[in-house]
A and B are shown apart, each in its own frame.
Chain A
Amino acid sequence: MMTTIRYAVVVAAFLVSSAWPAHAAERPLPPSVKAAQLDKRIDWREARLIAVQDAGRYKTLDSFARESMSAMYGRECLPGLSPLASLLEWLFNRPAYADEPVVRIRDKGLRIHFSTHMPAAQRQFIIEKGYMTPRQLSERQVQDRMRELEPRFEMVSAMRRVRDAQGVAGFLDEMLFIVPPATPDPEEPWHLTSDLIRNLPEDLRAQAGATIEPGAKPVPGLSADQAVQVLGAWAKLRSAWLGQDAAGVQSSVDRLAQLLPTLAAAGVYPSRAQRSAEARYYAMGKFTDGWILYFLGAIASVWALVTRWRTPWFIALVLLVAAMAFHAYGIGLRWYILGRIPVANMFEAVISSAWIGIACALIGELIYRSRVFLFGATVTGFVALVLGGYVIPGAGTLTTIMGILDDVMLRIHTVLIIASYAMIFVAAVIAAVYLFAYYFHTAPFASLQMGAATAVIGAIIAVSAYLVFGQPVSGAAESVKRPGVAVVFWAAAVATLLAIAMLTWLRAHGATIFSAVLLLTAFTTIAIGNKTFVLGTGVSLLAAGMIWALGTGAGLLWRLVQGATSPSPALAAAGGPAMSVSALRMARPILAGGAPGDENRAAALPVWLHTVDWSQMIMLNLVFVLLFVGTILGAVWADYSWGRPWGWDPKEVFALNTWIVYAILIHARFLVKNKGLWTAWLSVAGCGMMAFNWCFVNFFIVGLHSYA
């Protein structure tokens, strides 16, 4: 046993290390070649801890560099350069990049809008790669187009991103507020190094050839000597950087790192510990890479779930605990840096809620050892960290919190709500396992067909996303649908429908109806959606269908093979050892609640299916209470914040709707014969309602919670 564990741990460690995103050496852009060489010779440890006042908070120079480069280039650094080297290169050597494609245009529609007047090769490059040069961005045609598009509401976010990129590209040196004031007020604006010119005596200014605007006031509280020191170090840094003088750069940045904190009044400059924590947090990719551990844990938990062996269960448990520790460290670090519980925006809510949900599932697993908790926990962790690292806008950038959200009751409300959301997701994963297992047990071949049909339809949609929406159209218009092609694909949909019907009509009419509904729904997405949406739908269906079909197929094979060699796993797969109804009732966990279960059907359903049903009920009972209490505490907060506990805001309504789905679920268990199955479907529906509330309502429906 121990040997197996050791092997498993070694394999897991290898997989983790190989899958870890390696920062492979990239080829620098032509103007960056010398800077890349210089970068390698600089020790940035002190420089990255210089504090910057930006976007309403204090951050490290390292964070500022990463966020600025992300805004402009779409990544935290220029190719082949570290974030700080990228920052200095852009500050001091910007003209060299005038014709380099360094301004990222994330939105494909805008790429087309901005490149219509350009030669075909340039246009193609911009549309495909999404990068423009600063010179191209400042062209009159592009600026005119921007002015035209800016007032359009649907363009607000996209244009804000472009303006941010443009701001960094053109005015980065006017954003770097690193000179603290000598006043003790933490709200007091910080200053640019260039502001210190106003503190210089007139003769020194004349000597340096610097001029100031009439009426410009000196930076209060700073002496001419201090101004000279900072300006001197900054000027030396500039000349050393441009002159490839590593020693000069090193001494200048170290001097600035040592000098700038001494200018501030006591208590104004952020503590070194806090700055170090922030630098560490960013350097570790905001800890979203922990998804790899969760992913490996999910694989191990599937292994444990299917075989019910202890070894993979233990491996999955170890991986889960390791992932949780890594995850928790990231949350804790963020909490420490921000000085508040990190539940204020989408990234923080997803990351933190997932951890709470996972912790609950882990406790469930340790108590009941049903395997599905483990699987639910690892999948939840994996999905949350992938969302946080790759999908959620802003990618976890540290931000301030609106004053109104800085409230104890609101924090409790938020924690309860998001914890319940995470548990809803865990419950939905368990429900998916139940559905898979139920159909595998009761109608494996029809289930296989359903999975295959879903995958086929997903593939059709994914391919059609490319064909129907076509290549980018020249001119100002964005990609347009071609009605003729759409008609062809509707015909293809009907043909596929007939094919599926032929395959399944003798087997299971349910599968036929399911396929038909799925197909028509999917093709409707082509009719009403855009390319990204259709492609996303197609890929999702393809992946889900494949997993379902392959899982069912593998299960059938497993049952076939193991049935011939070992009675125990086969027995488990076929339904486990038989139990009497009364024994099964006694086995039902107390936490599974007072609603009736399927124990009366002990003979029809395997024990492990009951276990999965109980597991989902354990989560759903908790969800029902937590979601209600969380929603009510939100109302309490709203009442004392603005005298109105409930305003029928979409977010509130959909929180209520989610609770109503679970109320229906609980009552349905008293009504229907197939209680576990109905519960699983309604649990998935509740998760859909939650996801709609969290994603669609937050981002697409204007309401009081639009900032959430």
Chain B
Amino acid sequence: MQVNAEARRPGGWRQNRVVRFFASLNTGITLLTLVLVYACVFSALPQVRGAVEVTEMQAFSHWLFTTLTVLLCVSVLVATLARIPFNLPNLGVWTVHAGILLLCGGALWYFGSKIEGDVILRSPRLELVTTSMGGERTIAALLPEPGQTWSNFMPAFGGDVTLEVKGTATSAAGGIQQATVRVTIGSAEPVDVSVAAADGAATPINDRLGLRLETFPGERTFYHHEHAALWYRGSADPNWHTSELAGLPYFRERYLDEGYVLEDTAGRPEPSKRTTPAVTLAGITIPTGWFENWRLPLRPATPGLPFDVEITGYVPYIGGMRQLAVGGGTALNPGMNVRLAIANTDQMIERALFARRPSASSIDLRSPVEFRWVESADERDALLAPLAGPSELAIEIKEPPVSKTVVVAAGEVIEVEGTPYRLRIQQIMPSWPLISPGFEGATSPAAIIEVESDTKKFTRTVIQRYPQFTQDIDETGMRRKVGLYDENIVMRFRTAENGCALLVGDSAGAARGDLLLGVFSPDGQVETRTVRVGDNAPLSLGGLPLILTVLDLFEKAQGGEIPVVEALETRRPSVAARSASAIRLKLTGKDAFAGWSETRWMRFSQYPHVDPVPLQIRPPGALETYELIYSRMPHDLGATLIPQKLTVNFFPGRRSVESWRSYFRVEPDEDEPHIGTVYTNQTYAVGPWTLFQSGAAQDHWSYTILGVGNRRGIWPMVLGCTMITLGCLWAFYVKPALKRRAVERVREQERARAGHGGAKPARADVREMVHTG
């Protein structure tokens, strides 16, 4: 390289200060060094990336790095034009520099328009279900493909159960519509069962087992790897709407102060990191928002919702969710945090109880501890009244009017005197699970009673805590979902067979910071006392010495679930921070719901239609429930992908997978449908998107995950790289030879001019000079 511009052409544009600055080698080397330092810091130090909330991709798409790259390109361009004469020896360096400009330009285009995400394709599945426990519970699943088999030894179902898919029927689009399965149970003759996808419910094999064919629609949406989004809709709206959560943190726990500190799975406090992009040095706060892109709080646009959404917290790597009652609510929502410890041991549990949330109103140990809220003294007295015995049944008959309370036990028969009613206590259930909307997860003691009168014979389930859900099953076996089969008889059931404790609060007590504790012994007797917040109350429950401590009590509580952060030492770097994250939403009512506000944490869903963890919100007085999902930004693929098959190559022994191959049907918007395949080291293009094998199910068949990305700017980069390589070869190996030849020619001419003819002298050989030994 000849670096002699001034001598070549003094003055002119090359003397311009800006040109001289960019043409300077010092500038070029400084810029290269800055690029190097930036790359080292942001690549080798994940702590730095974490602190400023950028992923690797975002770090190298940041405006600062882009600026450095552009400046370097300008330097290369100006230095080449101003300082390097364009001639044959310098062809190499010109080519290299032109290649660098092309490479950088292509890279800026590529990364500036880069979108990356993935799509999950779920295979149809044939499920073996048991119907013997009320609902349908899946025992096993297999791919509905002829020849596929499944077998297991299940003595409870008659011995070896073997399924073999004998055939399938597919639709014109290639989707499976029907499957025929040969089922062999124990030593019985095999039976062929035909299962249709449209059925929905299981096709019975016998009275205990059934088969179900589940199919999934094709996918035409993929989800961005890094861009989070809030998905929302009203219950009347079939379509989801999305709002991008631009600026959401990624790596660090950041949450605005709401009066509590999160804990990690080891029980240590995990306070929030910075919540505004600024750093404080020696007491001086320096805003860093010009460099950092994350923000808190975020206010995503959610048109159509009757409330505003504000993201006030973000936690990556959550290890679970914990209930916690906190104050600050605007409506009556009695809540308390309570600790229950076994005396003289270190065993204890802490729970948040909410009297108005059925699933969170009790600690369901063998002897339950329940939180109730009362509006009046009568209500309180009724709750804390002693039982007639271990279990009691209050019977009220309208015609003829009879009212009585009797002690009951399982198997007991009660003749209600003066009436035609004869009751038989079929079963007393200490913990009956509720499935009614709003009561999912709640349990209650219940009595199943057979009732017989002159005209009717039915079974009634009387639920202690939620008597409104008492249900009848009539003679035909039909469950009465609305109203009772026999309105003439009303029953109330209470039990203390295993002992129980009631924490009964009211507004006056909450103001004082106390509540009543009623401890029921198994004989139905009750001991009542006042418990203050913070006091340790010893009690004996089910024969176990316990200490109960009410940690907090709120009349208008809020909070609900809060995340427990995965302890630092147990985090797996291979798990992306976002995929295990949660956000906190502050929902504030507007228009008709002005004045209402609620704060809730919500977990991340990788695929909103596959593993949704929706938050259901119903502002007070609203006619509609609104669903929110925290997931990823969707992008249109421009085609529908329908899974066909996932195949796997194993290493010898089939204990580990060597590679996967996914077959799928592509239905483009403006083209004929065709079959696509991606596998290890082989991509497939659908319009502007490139698909590649990204992940697969552990069972090797039930789903495949295809990575999706665009790749604009590839060809300039390829051309640039080729030019750099060729230019280097020229500069390193051709140019010295050309230069030497030129020098030798000049010498020859000089020698000829000086009259020194004769043979050409041998070129000095470095070997001769160093071999002095």
Interface residue A41 (Cβ < 8 Å from any Cβ of B) = no
**Is the pair B651, A56 in contact by a Cβ cutoff of 8 Å?**
yes
**Is the pair B116, A644 in contact by a Cβ cutoff of 8 Å?**
yes
Task: Give chain B residues whose Cβ lies under 8 Å from the Cβ of A152.
Answer: 569-570
> Which of A151, A403, A664 has the most C-beta atoms of chain B within 10 angstroms of its own C-beta?
A403
Q: Which of B759-773 contact A (CB under 8 A)?
A: 763-767, 769-773
Task: Give chain A residues whose Cβ lies under 8 Å from the Cβ of B138.
Answer: none
Contact partner of A154 among B60, B569, B731, B765, CB < 8 A?
B569
Task: Give chain A residues whose Cβ lies under 8 Å from the Cβ of B304.
Answer: none
How far in angstroms is the closest Cβ of chain A from B680? 5
Interface residue B739 (Cβ < 8 Å from any Cβ of A) = yes
Number of A-B contacts (CB under 8 A): 232
Task: Give chain B residues whose Cβ lies under 8 Å from the Cβ of A591.
Answer: 732-733
In the complex, A410 Cα to B682 Cα: how many Å? 13
**Is the pair A402, B658 in contact by a Cβ cutoff of 8 Å?**
yes
Question: Which of B31-39, B543-551, B669-677 is near enough to bind chain A?
Answer: B31-39
**Is the pair B766, A403 in contact by a Cβ cutoff of 8 Å?**
no
Task: Give chain B residues whose Cβ lies under 8 Å from the Cβ of A586.
Answer: 740, 743, 763-764
In the complex, A152 Cα to B571 Cα: how many Å? 7
Interface residue A177 (Cβ < 8 Å from any Cβ of B) = yes
Question: Which of A382-390, A471-479, A571-579 is near enough to bind chain B?
Answer: A571-579
**Is the pair A569, B773 in contact by a Cβ cutoff of 8 Å?**
yes
> Which of B3, B29, B732, B740 has the most C-beta atoms of chain A within 10 angstroms of its own C-beta?
B732
In the complex, A233 Cα to B61 Cα: how many Å? 67
**Is the pair B682, A640 in contact by a Cβ cutoff of 8 Å?**
yes
**Is the pair A645, B43 in contact by a Cβ cutoff of 8 Å?**
no
**Is the pair A647, B690 in contact by a Cβ cutoff of 8 Å?**
no
Interface residue A90 (Cβ < 8 Å from any Cβ of B) = no
Task: Give chain B residues whose Cβ lies under 8 Å from the Cβ of A309.
Answer: 773
Residue of B nearest to A410 (CB): B681
Interface residue A147 (Cβ < 8 Å from any Cβ of B) = no
**Is the pair B569, A187 in contact by a Cβ cutoff of 8 Å?**
no
Q: Which of A369-394 contact B (CB under 8 A)?
A: 369-371
**Is the pair B767, A369 in contact by a Cβ cutoff of 8 Å?**
yes
**Is the pair A307, B773 in contact by a Cβ cutoff of 8 Å?**
yes
**Is the pair A653, B39 in contact by a Cβ cutoff of 8 Å?**
yes
**Is the pair B653, A56 in contact by a Cβ cutoff of 8 Å?**
yes
**Is the pair B26, A632 in contact by a Cβ cutoff of 8 Å?**
no
**Is the pair B35, A642 in contact by a Cβ cutoff of 8 Å?**
no
Contact partner of A649 among B56, B653, B717, B769, CB < 8 A?
B56
In the complex, A154 Cα to B729 Cα: how many Å? 46
Q: Which of A172-212 contact B (CB under 8 A)?
A: 177, 186-190
Q: Which of A616-653 contact B (CB under 8 A)?
A: 621, 624-625, 628-629, 632, 635, 637, 639-650, 653
Interface residue B564 (Cβ < 8 Å from any Cβ of A) = no
Interface residue A697 (Cβ < 8 Å from any Cβ of B) = yes
In the complex, A552 Cα to B731 Cα: how many Å? 37
In the complex, A112 Cα to B28 Cα: how many Å? 54
Q: Which of A293-324 contact B (CB under 8 A)?
A: 307-310
**Is the pair A642, B683 in contact by a Cβ cutoff of 8 Å?**
yes
**Is the pair A642, B692 in contact by a Cβ cutoff of 8 Å?**
yes
Contact partner of A628 among B59, B649, B724, CB < 8 A?
B724
Task: Give chain B residues whose Cβ lies under 8 Å from the Cβ of A701.
Answer: 43-44, 46
In the complex, A586 Cα to B762 Cα: how many Å? 10
Task: Give chain B residues whose Cβ lies under 8 Å from the Cβ of A400.
Answer: 651, 656, 658
In the complex, A584 Cα to B692 Cα: how many Å? 56
Task: Give chain B residues whose Cβ lies under 8 Å from the Cβ of A58.
Answer: 652
Contact partner of B153 among A215, A588, A593, A635, CB < 8 A?
A215
Residue of A nearest to B709 (CB): A643
Task: Give chain B residues whose Cβ lies under 8 Å from the Cβ of A657.
Answer: 36, 39-40, 43
How far in angstroms is the closest Cβ of chain A from B27? 11
Task: Give chain B residues whose Cβ lies under 8 Å from the Cβ of A232.
Answer: none
- Contacts A151-B570, A632-B721, A653-B39: A577 and B680 contacting too (C-beta < 8 A)? no
Residue of A nearest to B656 (CB): A56
In the complex, A611 Cα to B767 Cα: how many Å? 9
Interface residue A590 (Cβ < 8 Å from any Cβ of B) = yes
Question: Which of A103-111, A245-253, A451-459, A666-674 is near enough to bind chain B?
Answer: A666-674
Contact partner of A648 among B57, B573, B717, B721, CB < 8 A?
B57
**Is the pair A590, B740 in contact by a Cβ cutoff of 8 Å?**
yes
In the complex, A403 Cα to B571 Cα: how many Å? 27
Interface residue B25 (Cβ < 8 Å from any Cβ of A) = yes
> Which of B36, B43, B652, B769 has the most C-beta atoms of chain A within 10 angstroms of its own C-beta?
B652
**Is the pair A661, B772 in contact by a Cβ cutoff of 8 Å?**
no
Contact partner of A187 among B36, B652, B729, CB < 8 A?
B652
Contact partner of B707 among A187, A595, A642, A656, CB < 8 A?
A642
How far in angstroms is the closest Cβ of chain A from B635? 14
In the complex, A629 Cα to B767 Cα: how many Å? 31
Interface residue A663 (Cβ < 8 Å from any Cβ of B) = yes
How many residues in A have their beta carbons less than 8 Å from beta carbons of B? 93
Task: Give chain A residues whose Cβ lies under 8 Å from the Cβ of B681.
Answer: 404, 407, 410, 637, 640-641
Task: Give chain A residues whose Cβ lies under 8 Å from the Cβ of B654.
Answer: 187-189
Interface residue B650 (Cβ < 8 Å from any Cβ of A) = yes
Interface residue B339 (Cβ < 8 Å from any Cβ of A) = no
Interface residue B92 (Cβ < 8 Å from any Cβ of A) = yes
- Contacts A607-B770, A643-B691, A650-B43: A56 and B655 contacting too (C-beta < 8 A)? yes
Interface residue A594 (Cβ < 8 Å from any Cβ of B) = yes
> Which of A214, A410, A629, A648 has the most C-beta atoms of chain B within 10 angstroms of its own C-beta?
A648
Interface residue B160 (Cβ < 8 Å from any Cβ of A) = yes
Task: Give chain B residues whose Cβ lies under 8 Å from the Cβ of A576.
Answer: 769-770, 772
**Is the pair B743, A585 in contact by a Cβ cutoff of 8 Å?**
yes
- Contacts A586-B763, A611-B770, A639-B711: A189 and B683 contacting too (C-beta < 8 A)? no
Task: Give chain B residues whose Cβ lies under 8 Å from the Cβ of A647.
Answer: 56-57
Task: Give chain B residues whose Cβ lies under 8 Å from the Cβ of A368.
Answer: 766-767
Task: Give chain A residues whose Cβ lies under 8 Å from the Cβ of B29.
Answer: 664, 667-668, 671
Contact partner of A670 among B1, B650, B764, B770, CB < 8 A?
B1
Residue of B nearest to A313 (CB): B773
7 A–B contacts, CB within 8 A, in A order: A153-B573, A595-B1, A611-B770, A625-B725, A645-B110, A661-B36, A670-B1
Q: Using a CB–CB distance below 8 Å, which chain A residues touch chain B?
A: 53-54, 56-58, 151-154, 177, 186-190, 214-215, 307-310, 368-371, 400, 402-404, 406-407, 410, 568-569, 571-572, 576-577, 579, 583-595, 607-608, 611, 614, 621, 624-625, 628-629, 632, 635, 637, 639-650, 653-654, 656-657, 660-661, 663-664, 667-668, 670-671, 692, 696-697, 701-702
Q: Using a CB–CB distance below 8 Å, which chain B residues touch chain A?
A: 1, 3, 25-26, 28-29, 32-33, 35-36, 39-40, 43-44, 46, 56-57, 59-60, 89, 92-93, 107, 110, 116, 153, 160, 569-574, 649-659, 680-683, 690-694, 707, 709, 711, 714, 717, 721, 724-725, 728-729, 731-733, 735-737, 739-740, 743, 763-767, 769-773
Sample of 15 further A-B pairs with CB below 8 A, known A310-B771, A647-B57 = A177-B653, A188-B652, A190-B652, A370-B766, A400-B651, A577-B772, A628-B724, A639-B711, A641-B680, A642-B707, A643-B683, A643-B691, A657-B39, A663-B32, A667-B32
